[in-house]
């Protein structure tokens, strides 16, 4: 496994720049991951594959989600509002500066 050496900048502006680069990289990696998974789907979702670096076993499971529209319809908007938990959070909205 590759060793990752991380150098955290000390200047706040450099931290923001590096954070923006990481977010952009994640988008690229996520897009490539999606394309690779679509390729596996097109190839019939093989149950087992062994490459030079990784071995993969296909695991299929079910996931349940709540149909919030049906809950609102059945119990009413006010019930949903009364039983909704809000959590505060913060984030940085980064925009690349082009020069």
Kindly report the pTM of this predicted structure: 0.69
3-state secondary structure of 50: strand
Domain of 74 in residue numbering reads as: 12-82
Residue 69 domain flag? yes
Q: Is residue 33 part of a domain?
A: yes
First to last CA, the chain: 37
Give the pLDDT confidence of 36-61 residue by residue, as tens digits.
999 999 999 889 998 999 999 999 99
In the chain, % helix, strand, coil (3-state, to 5) comes to 45, 5, 50
Q: What's the whole-number average pLDDT of the chain?
A: 91
Average pLDDT on 64-82 reads 95
Domains contained in the chain, number: 1
In this structure, are residues 24 and 98 in contact, taking their beta carbons and an 8 Å threshold?
no
Sequence-distant (6+) residues with CB within 8 A of 40 are 46
Whether 95 maps to a domain, the answer reads no
CB hemisphere CA count around 19 (13 angstroms): 12
């Amino acid at each position: 496994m590759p060793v990752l050496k991380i150098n955290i900048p000390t200047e706040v502006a450099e931290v923001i720049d590096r954070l923006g680069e990481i977010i952009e990289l994640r988008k690229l990696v996520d897009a490539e991951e999606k394309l690779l998974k679509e390729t596996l789907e097109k190839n019939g979702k093989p149950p087992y594959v062994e490459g030079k670096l990784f071995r993969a076993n296909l695991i299929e499971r079910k996931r349940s989600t709540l149909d919030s529209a049906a809950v609102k319809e059945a119990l009413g908007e006010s019930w949903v509002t009364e039983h909704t938990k809000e959590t505060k959070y913060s984030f940085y909205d980064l925009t690349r500066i082009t020069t």
